[in-house]
A = this chain, B = another copy of it.
Amino acid sequence: MYRKEIKVLDCTIRDGGLINDYQFSEKFVKAVYRAICDSGVDYLELGKKLVESEDYPRSKYGPWNFSDDDVVQRIVDSYQGKHRPQLSVMFDVGRVDIATLRDKKDSPIDMVRTACYVHQVDKGLDLVKRCKEKGYATTLNIMAVSAAIEAELMEALEDVAKTPELDFLYLVDSYGAYYSEQVTHMLNLYGKYVPREKLAFHGHNNIQLAYSNTQQAIIDGVNMLDATINGIGRGAGNCCLELLLGFLKNPKFDVRPIYRVIQEEFVPLRQEIEWGYNDIYGISGLMNQHPREAMKFRANREKRDNCYDFHELVTRQDVGPV
């Protein structure tokens, strides 16, 4: 499936950081940066850019939760090769301080992606405008839309449509609940408000559909796609970058540096932190639920694989009138 317009964004560090409170070592992040550079991937998201707070103290959260410019610069300077991906960071509505964002011309960052829920879209778009003023490329990643009221989403999308400062609008399958026809339905909905060339897709693998849904987005004309190395990410994780590059068949990509960094860095990491599909996340995805409950269940080492118990737990919550 070669289409030259397609861009790939690797968010290994940002989505993976959700598992380990952004405590990746600088050595690890440099290895990922090198692999992404060498593989020809278009964008790399190095972390969130949150402000320190009571909820997010630096004593608990590692550097990739804050993405300070000097730390990012050290990563960039660690590589001597030619190809450089555009760098992005993620904003969470309500957890950022726009005043601390330097102008693009003084920063190693190229793009700011703003994540928000449907009811926060106005605040999200405000951040988008401010980031654009400072010279950044912008995205809006509306989370958890599979559990949103469609009428409310459409209202929010009307505001999105009036925001020319937005470069990309992401369809985000936060709960890993969509299958192909639903991806198409949602992209058609988004496409009523935003030109197709501005649409982007971010999947999750709760029911093993992150990769196939990303393929479906491609089939539906989306040209901006998220993936992570080895599918690392919270819960069931994301679309595997190595599979996506294998599918895209664009000669500008080289998958070998990705397999190399998996072998050297991710295989050992798998002994320390868990990610990827399992029965528990599967149930969570089929139920279109936030993975919170599933992650809590997985944290119990003795009972983590008791999928029948988990299924009973989450389906019984649905029983009875409300």
Q: List residues of A whose CB falls within 8 A of some B CB.
A: 179-181, 205, 207-213, 215-216, 219, 230, 240, 242-243, 246-247, 255-256, 259-260, 262-264, 267, 277, 279, 282-283, 286, 305-309, 311-312
Contacts and interface: CB of A to CB of B under 8 A. Distances in A.
Contacts of A311: 255-256, 259
A212 B208 contact: yes
Contacts of A181: 219
A205 B179 CA distance: 16
Given A207-B243, A247-B179, A282-B243, A263 B212 contact: no
A5 to B, nearest CB: 18
A212 B183 CA distance: 12
A259 B308 contact: yes
Nearest to A239: B208
A259 B278 CA distance: 12
Nearest to A215: B179
A321 to B, nearest CB: 20
Contacts of A240: 208, 282
B308 A263 contact: yes
Contacts of A242: 279, 282, 307
A293 to B, nearest CB: 16
Given A180-B212, A208-B240, A247-B179, A279 B259 contact: yes
B179 A180 contact: no
A201 to B, nearest CB: 15
Contacts of A247: 179, 286
A247 B282 CA distance: 11
A277 to B, nearest CB: 8
A306 B246 CA distance: 18
Given A180-B215, A212-B212, 14 more contacts: A179-B212, A207-B246, A208-B212, A212-B213, A242-B279, A242-B282, A242-B307, A243-B286, A247-B286, A259-B283, A260-B308, A263-B305, A263-B306, A267-B307
Nearest to A212: B212
A243 B280 CA distance: 11
Nearest to A216: B180
